[in-house]
Structure 1
């Protein structure tokens, strides 16, 4: 039986905890430690330190998988249906929803630009979203 200190293997362990483990497990732990150190040496020697913050698009390609043709088509159809539903709303509601959700203008800025209270803008947008939900439910049924 081999004796190990759990503090060497678990960084959150604040004090020494010694544990008896079988020799086979100790051998596997030692081999894993050697492989990690060999990997670190290879990375250092070959200067293989890569960063995803290069602004060459690599992080985008890694984080976001490309869409299949079916998914691209589905997004296109959904966007068209959403545009049709938004255009079916009353003029003020559609303009306010477009300004807030597509253009990213805050409700207070919309209220200032239109010369109305922010409460009216909030009510108009929430009513427009309810109407939009009804229109889309009818569209998909």
Structure 2
């Protein structure tokens, strides 16, 4: 299975939190990463998005075909992300457009074996894959695409 974690692009400050929109810079970040993703997208990609405006706007830079998952909102956690995606046992690939700190905590779990307060920068995409070698399940970091490098 492939798991892609895409933190929403830069959004305006303010409240209510769920209605914050992307800034002009955020729209540019989302378009750049979406263009990279369009060239490298895995097959059978399902796209799961937090219900916030900023995550839906980020995802829309890539596609209009995504599923809004309430548990992936700003208060979501690693267990919510794992449940929504089916990692590592589901087939195909899942792209989650979501929030800190859950995305960073999941990245830490996948790479270091325990949750920790890692930061995924706004607009960045982290791509993981799971494989079995000699009977052992392994997590591989395939790519990290910062929004300013895409």
- Using the size of structure 1 for normalisation, the TM-score is 0.27
Return the structure number with greater helix share: 1
> Highest Rg: 1 or 2?
1
